[in-house]
Structure 1
C-alpha cells in the first residue's frame, strides 16, 4: 500500500469512526456497547452476509450519532451504516495522529472477544483533534468484528 493510499484509507476510516460531531447528547459507552451487541445479535439471527446488508442499509443501525461498522480481521470494512465509501476499503495500516495503529489494535482486541480501544482523530467537520473510544466485539462464527465509537468527554 503506497503512502498516498494509506492516507486515503486513514481519512476514510477516520470518517467511519467519527460519525457526527460531538455535543451534549453524544452517545454513552453503554449505548455504544448496546448498539454493537444488537449488531452481534443480528449476525447470530440472520448470518454475517445478511447482517452486513442490513447494517449497510443504515436506518436502524445509525442511532443517536452512532455508526455501526463490521470489519474483517484483515482490516477490510465490510459494513458501515454511515459511509458507503468505506465499504470494501482496506484500513489495516491506518494510524491516528499520534501514530497509533488503531485498526490493528481493534483487531487484536476483538480476537480476544471484546473491549474498548482509545484513539485520536481529526474531526472532519470541526478540524479539531478529538479523543475517541471504539467498542469492538468479535462477530460470531466469523473472522470479523462489530465496532461502534463514541467521543470521549
Structure 2
C-alpha cells in the first residue's frame, strides 16, 4: 500500500509543481491577442463616430476589455499625441513624438511614420512592462484608423 501512496504523493507533487509553470506561461499576452485587441479597438472607435471620447476614457481607465495582464490598448494621433493609454494615464494628451526607448530609438516617431506609410504593421522596441516593471523587448501591432494609430503590444 505504501508504494501506491508514494506514487500518488509523487503525482500530486508533480502536478503542484507544474501549476505555477502553466500560470506563468499564461502571464504574457500573445501576438494573436494583441492583434485581436487592436481590431476590437478599431471596431469600437469606428462605431463611436465623431465622439471617440467614451472609448478613449474606457481605455485610459483600464477597463478590462482594453487591458489584460501585460496587454493594453494605446491610441496615438498621427502627430504623436497620446489619445488613450491603457497602462499610463499620465501620457494622455502628451505629444511623445520625440520619445526614445532605452536604446535611443525614436519609437513613437517611427510608429507614426509606419502608420502613415504602411497602415498595418508590427514594430519592435523596448519599453517598461507594467506587470514586471522591467524594461523588456516589445513588439507592437498597430492599425491606422483615420488620423490615429491604434496599437497593442506583447512583451518578449
User: Shared fold (TM-score greater than 0.5)?
Assistant: yes
When the two structures are superposed, what TM-score results if normalisation uses the length of structure 2? 0.73
Gaps of 5+ in 1: 1-22
Q: 1:116 aligns with which of 113, 117, 122?
A: 122
- Count of residue correspondences: 128
Determine which structure has more spread, i.e. the larger CA radius of gyration. Answer: 2
Match of 1:41 in 2: 43
Gaps of 5+ in 2: 1-23
- Which residues of 2 match residues 1-150 of structure 1 at below 5 A? 24-25=25-26, 26-47=28-49, 48-59=52-63, 60-111=65-116, 112-123=118-129, 128-139=134-145, 142-150=146-154
Pick 1 or 2: higher relative contact order, CA cutoff 8 A, min separation 6.
1
Match of 1:20 in 2: none
TM-fit CA distance, 1:36: 0.5
1:70-97 Cα shifts (integer Å, max 9, x gaps): 1001111000123211111111001111
1:8-46 Cα shifts (integer Å, max 9, x gaps): xxxxxxxxxxxxxxx532001110010000000101111
CA shift in 2, pair 1:53/1:121, >3 Å: closer
